[in-house]
Structure 1
Amino acid sequence: MTKIAIVYHSGYGHTAKVADHVLKGAADTGADVSLYKAEDLASPDEGPWDELAAADAIIFGAPTYMGSASAPMKQFIDATSKAWFTDAWKDKIAAGFTNSGSLSGDKSSTLSQFATLAGQHGMVWVNFGMKSGFNASNHDFDGALNRAGHFHGLATQSLTDLSAEDGPDAADLKTAELFGERVAEATKRWVRGKS
């Protein structure tokens, strides 16, 4: 059974909700999936680092604040340098997701930040692989999957005046599940091919 770790930060609960749906999609494939809060991995000497080292894939997730990953996620990213020195994550699968109040919201910057982190660790980045569900006049915005058309990873939207109870909407959460499924299936193929 493949092991997938999801490391995320959530400022107001919206990104945690997305993480739960990414987990659901990945777990539905039969993968063993665990959630880890970035705050618990803020120091390279404390936290479940051994569990990340044992995972076949790590999915990074954070809200996009001011054009990049949130500060607690950045602290986790900086703390990964100890794993970098030992190649602890080399050849693992990696992917990323982000959430913000705007439809675009400079989320590509955060996804690129995660892809760069994965590259520095020698990980294999999995993109989303889903076409945009909202790019023609006959498409329904409210029910569209991947409606913002992000391809580097998963990007969802939570309107700023809604609590985590009310956002992201059902279409974005379904998109999150499909993303989790894609990463899990890619991880299975990768692990099978390595053995």
Structure 2
Amino acid sequence: MAKIVVVFHSGYGHTQRLAQAVADGAGAQLVAIDADGNVPEGAWETLAGADAIILGSPTYMAGPSWQFKKFADASSKAWFTQAWKDKLFAGFTNSASTNGDKQVTLDYLFHLAMQHSGVWVGTGMMPANSKAAQRNDVNWIGSFSGAMAQSPSDASAAEMFAGDLETGRQFGQRVAAVAQRIAG
């Protein structure tokens, strides 16, 4: 079985809830980036031993949180030695607006993975874009490059849309399936 790690930052709990859904789908270990942009003891070793790394950040002001960027900058030690070369990568994000420039955050996560010479896994999901589509459908936002969720600014993490969480879970399953196929 492939070893998968979800490394993420969450400011208000919504992205943490999405990270848990992704991890549940992937059978992954969670590594939380704290409010100061640091990872817990042993996290760098955990990431080094992973077959796949799923990156997650809320979208704030058209990009990932500063805490996630601090983690990304600290990953330059792994970059310098190409320690994460050929690992699978994937990413997810959440913002208060339906669009909220989430694609910019996913692009940032993608480019970080490419800097590490990784291999990117998209959602592999068709969008829920018919007239019959409902807000709680899987991939209602219609993302292909990574999982996206939307949480109204006045909603608690407990009020997240079930369809967004299911999108995260199925996305995690896809990453796990690809990782397993590559591992042989």
TM-score normalised by structure 2 residue count: 0.95
> For structure 1, which runs of at least 5 residues remain unmatched after alignment?
28-32
1:51-82, CA deviations, whole angstroms, 9 ceiling, x for partnerless residues? 10000000000100000001100100010000
What SS does structure 1 have at the residue aligned with 2:83?
coil
What is the aligned partner in structure 1 of residue 183 from structure 2?
191
What is the aligned partner in structure 2 of residue 30 from structure 1?
none
2:157 to 129, 150, 164: 164
2:116 to 97, 116, 121: 121
**1:42/1:79 contact within 8 Å kept:** no
2:148 to 125, 132, 155: 155
1:67-108, CA deviations, whole angstroms, 9 ceiling, x for partnerless residues? 000110010001000000111100000000000011111000
**1:41/1:49 contact within 8 Å kept:** no
**1:15/1:63 contact within 8 Å kept:** yes
The one-letter code of the counterpart of 2:165 is L
Is 1:86 the counterpart of 2:56? The answer is: no
Q: CA deviation at 1:41?
A: 9.4
The ranges of structure 1 where at least 4 consecutive aligned residues each deviate by more than 6 angstroms after the TM superposition are none
Change over 3 Å in CA distance of 1:65–1:41 after alignment to 2: closer
**2:38/2:67 contact within 8 Å kept:** no
What is the aligned partner in structure 1 of residue 15 from structure 2?
15
Q: After the TM superposition, which residues 33-52 of structure 1 pair with which residues of structure 2 at under 5 Å, given as runs? A: 33-39=28-34, 42=37, 47-52=42-47
1:19-55, CA deviations, whole angstroms, 9 ceiling, x for partnerless residues? 110011112xxxxx210012399469x6521110000
What SS does structure 2 have at the residue aligned with 1:131?
coil
**1:41/1:48 contact within 8 Å kept:** no
1:138 to 109, 115, 132: 132
> For structure 2, which runs of at least 5 residues remain unmatched after alignment?
none
RMSD: 1.6
Q: CA deviation at 1:190?
A: 1.4
For these two proteins, the number of residue pairs brought into alignment is 183
**2:125/2:139 contact within 8 Å kept:** yes
